[in-house]
Chains A and B, each alone.
Chain A
Amino acid sequence: MDTAILAQAAADNNEGFTAIARGLVYGLAAIGPGIGIGYLVGQTVAAIARQPEAAGQLRTTMFIGIALVEALAIFGLALSFIVAG
């Protein structure tokens, strides 16, 4: 197919592509943090089950870790608002 036609079609569907791009930006950015937070919380649960008296300290450390990992997903959400047509 001719690239000029493709470009024309892309320009016509710009708004739709922007919507898809927004969804993709956030969706892709959420994959890594999703895995990361799952692993983090799972390990903390295992650690608390093994040593319940350390629960307080583990929980605080877990929240700090979650906050750091979550920042990546939040950047994705921020970028999805910035992506413009």
Chain B
Amino acid sequence: MSTLAAEVPSLNNLFDFQPFNDNALGVTWVVLAMAIAFALACLTMFVCFRKTEVVPGRAQVIGESIVGFVRNNIAEEVIGHDGVRYVPYLLTTFLMIFFFNFMEVFPGIAFPPTSKIAVPLFFAVVAWLVFNIEGIRKNGAGTYFKGILFPPGVPKALYILLTPIEFLSTMVIRPITLTLRLTFNMLAGHLILTLLTVLAASVWAASPKALALPPVIIIGVLLTGFEMFVGFLQAFIFTTLTALYIGGAVHPEH
């Protein structure tokens, strides 16, 4: 067992990347994965909407179902009818996070850029800015902050307790949970897939006819499929929560 455990790379090796050939731009494996994900997202949208027709072709149906999913299941269902305004932003967030997560199982890359905390943090900061700015723009700064800090229907004395909690949960906890949820879901997924791959490789190295080999490989394949599902689910949850926060900011006291 100790020989197996010794071959598992340490966490730092799994998540720290050095720039290729000490290049001046500092391009690392993560940047490469992000560039490929970005190119894939652009390519998907370009192929789907290159020639739009009234009777959609095969590619256009796929593209419309992606946009329709974000529009109907996220924007309109969570925000309401004026949620259509936010579809471009939500679609961008959803697609980029989905393709970043998808890099986890992409052949040849096998590293999700979203498991580096800077990437989800950026999305979370953008979401924070969007829901605050939209809230202030729709309701005015006074009404917006009054709705957050002094929720109606509460005895006045409770505000001493409630106002700091509400301020913290809206302004601080929301972006932090958005960041950590996405980061650690992808980090845990990447860890599990790496551990299983290393385990399969070391069992193979010990003896290719080992009885333990088929179960390990089957579990690895199944978990790869599961991680694809998790990547989609996390993108969906991130976008839904962003929409929820925007909805809460745009229409206070629902």
Residues of A near any B CB (own CB < 8 A)? 56-57, 60, 63-64, 66-68, 70-71, 74-75, 77-78, 81
Contact = CB atoms under 8 A, between A and B. Distances in A.
B240 A64 contact: yes
Given A60-B78, A60-B240, A63-B240, A77 B184 contact: yes
**3 interchain residue pairs of minimum CB distance:** A67-B237, A71-B177, A74-B184
A33 to B, nearest CB: 12
Contacts, number: 37
A81 B73 CA distance: 35
A72 B68 CA distance: 32
B233 interface: yes
The binding surface of chain B is classed by DSSP as: helix
Most A CB within 10 A of own CB, among B11, B177, B187, B244: B177
Contacts of A67: 181, 237, 240-241
Interface of B: 11, 73, 77-78, 177, 180-181, 184-185, 187-188, 233, 236-237, 240-241, 244
B87 to A, nearest CB: 16
A56 B184 contact: no
B188 A60 contact: no
A67 B171 CA distance: 18
A1 B184 CA distance: 42
